[in-house]
Chain A
């Protein structure tokens, strides 16, 4: 659903970052991202980028990448670099949801992923926000105003949409519905996470990390407070990709 870019200097400082909604084709998204960040770091031509690693759902379609690395590896690398105490990364993307377990060195211990069903992914929240006529941000904040949160009976995104439409016509108010949606979303993610276990510290990456309703429900369900990244949680994967690119470049030029 979004494209992200991170540009690092030799000392791993973030020189520029950008998140945009995806364009019609991956190559157009990449071009738009580059047009935004390159002038900001004083790069005139794309060829001045010494090494590029592509990751994410559309990673095979990034023209300037030197190599592609899985999202699991990139999220793990980015998360460990930004927050070395992290042992579990919950990444909720537009098209999938991943739980990544890391050891103290930041190496991958285990992971689990849902990419088959839209329930429990960002797409579910987007669809529900659309049904309620809210933005994704409003869906998060509005749910905090709910006095009596309901529970949704449906797991499937399409069934849930029908259910929410029925509840709207029954006169249920938007905050209560937003709360029900965020709770259902949190349940899907935690159910998946519990299959491989959650070791603290835990942090959330991806756009859904910004939905306070989903995050607080997840914290309440597992009884643990999440740690915060010091950067935008949506760029963790791109940060990891940039760190891997930097390492690969250094190895190449040693």
Chain B
């Protein structure tokens, strides 16, 4: 029996398909244009490659744009799905840091995986994945390489602006001044880690702690956050991009 979880965020659409609780397919598309059209196209491609009919699959959708997916049986909030997916993969996890394209969240769960508390920065895009994307563009490096570039730095710069738009201007200025690119990248990554650290301070953090979302791939942000927290962040046996979608798929499998 196939079930699907879709995480239709602001930056990417992520989908996980399970068969008898095992992951049989996963895919991710950047959202450039209409989320509705992109998610539909992606789902159809995934279903046809598995040779299953869409109407026979239970689908749970989460993410900021979840209302836009027409093909679904149920909607679930992101916080619930992220908690569900993270807990299933690492039962010892109690605090989850989610860095999205536009918002950052910290979620606290108990020993049964239930959400106990959460904090969100949804007032502005400071410290979000979008900032990292703008910086990657300004430095002319692929966003997936930004963490490694930053990790080479011996002398990280300080980025003074919190606002992503002003931060982008600051980075462009530093590039024009001829500053070392890895030092700039490290400054940016440390600034994001600093903002995640501030968000964590607003909640009564408990170990184990883990990082989800695409930014979890960034080695410098991870390292800097670990340094500030003086602990090791737990890593998933699944690409951290898909934790929310996986959590949604688990809910879908409970629906039968």
Given the interface pairs A162-B102, A169-B33, the reply to whether A156 lies near B125 with Cβ below 8 Å is: yes
A95 to B102, Cβ gap below 8 A? no
Q: Is A151 an interface residue (CB 8 A)?
A: no
Q: Is A24 an interface residue (CB 8 A)?
A: yes
Q: Which single member of A123, A127, A158 contacts B130 (CB below 8 Å)? A: A158
User: Quick check: is A244 within 8 A (CB to CB) of the other chain?
Assistant: no
Residue A218 lies at the interface, judged by CB distance under 8 Å to chain B: no
Q: Is A155 an interface residue (CB 8 A)?
A: yes
Judge whether A157 is part of the interface by a CB distance below 8 angstroms.
yes
Q: A24-B176, A25-B177, A117-B124 are in contact. Are A158 and B34 (CB under 8 A)?
A: no
B255 contacts A by Cβ under 8 Å: no
30 residue pairs A–B, Cβ–Cβ below 8 Å: A25-B177, A95-B166, A95-B169, A116-B161, A116-B166, A117-B163, A117-B166, A118-B166, A119-B124, A123-B165, A123-B166, A123-B169, A124-B165, A127-B165, A155-B123, A156-B123, A156-B124, A157-B125, A157-B163, A157-B164, A158-B102, A158-B124, A158-B128, A158-B130, A158-B164, A158-B165, A159-B125, A162-B10, A162-B102, A169-B34
Across the interface, name the chain B residue whose C-beta is closest to A169.
B34
Residues on the A chain within 8 Å of B102, using CB: 158-159, 162
What total of chain A residues lie within 8 Å of the partner, measured CB to CB?
Answer: 17
A116-B162, A123-B169, A159-B124 given. 17 additional CB < 8 A pairs? A116-B166, A117-B124, A117-B163, A118-B163, A155-B123, A156-B123, A156-B124, A156-B125, A157-B164, A157-B165, A158-B102, A159-B102, A159-B125, A162-B10, A162-B102, A169-B33, A169-B34
Q: Would B163 and A116 count as touching, CB distance under 8 A?
A: yes
Complex: A10 Cα to B146 Cα, angstroms: 55
Contact with B along A47-58 (1 / 0, CB 8 A): 000000000000
Q: List chain B residues, Cβ under 8 A from A157.
A: 125, 163-165
Within 8 A of B (CB), among A122-144: 123-124, 127
Size band of the interface chain B makes with A? 10 to 19
B34 — nearest CB in chain A belongs to which residue?
A169
Give B68's nearest chain A residue, CB to CB. A166
Interface residues of B (CB under 8 A from A): 10, 33-34, 102, 123-125, 128, 130, 161-166, 169, 176-177
User: Which residues from chain A contact B169 at a C-beta distance below 8 Å?
Assistant: 95, 123
Chain A residue at minimum C-beta to C-beta distance from B10: A162
Instruction: Give chain B nearest CB distance to A21 CB in angstroms.
Output: 13
How long is the Cα–Cα vector from A159 to B102 in the complex, in angstroms? 7
Interface majority SS on B: helix, strand, loop or mixed?
Answer: loop
* Shortest Cβ distance from residue B77 to the other chain A in the assembled complex, whole angstroms: 19
Inter-chain contact B123/A118, CB cutoff 8 Å: no
A25 and B124 form a contact (CB under 8 A): no
Q: How far, in Å, is A28 (CB) from chain B's closest CB? A: 9
Assuming the contacts A95-B166, A123-B169, A127-B165, asked whether A155 and B124 have C-beta atoms less than 8 A apart, the reply is: yes
Most-contacted residue by chain A among B163, B165, B166 (CB, 10 A): B165
Point out the residues of chain B lying under 8 angstroms from A95, CB to CB: 166, 169
Residues of B within 8 A of A158 (CB): 102, 124-125, 128, 130, 164-165
Q: How far is the CB of A124 from chain B (nearest CB, A)?
A: 8
Query: What A residues does B128 contact at CB under 8 A?
Result: 158
Q: How far is the CB of B181 from chain A (nearest CB, A)?
A: 16
CA distance A223 to B43 in the complex (A): 53
Q: How far is the CA of A86 from the CA of B102 in the complex (A)?
A: 41
Interfacial residues of chain A within 159-191, with CB under 8 A of chain B in the complex:
159, 162, 169
**Closest Cβ of chain B: how far from A97's Cβ, in Å?**
12
In the complex, the chain B residue whose C-beta lies closest to that of A154 is B124
Expressed in whole angstroms, the Cα–Cα distance for A180 and B149 within the complex equals 40
- Which residues does chain B contribute within 8 Å of A123, judged by CB atoms? 165-166, 169
* Least CB separation from A25: chain B residue: B176
A95-123 to B contact mask, C-beta < 8 Å, 1/0:
10000000000000000000011110001
Which partner residue on chain A sits nearest B161 by CB separation?
Answer: A116
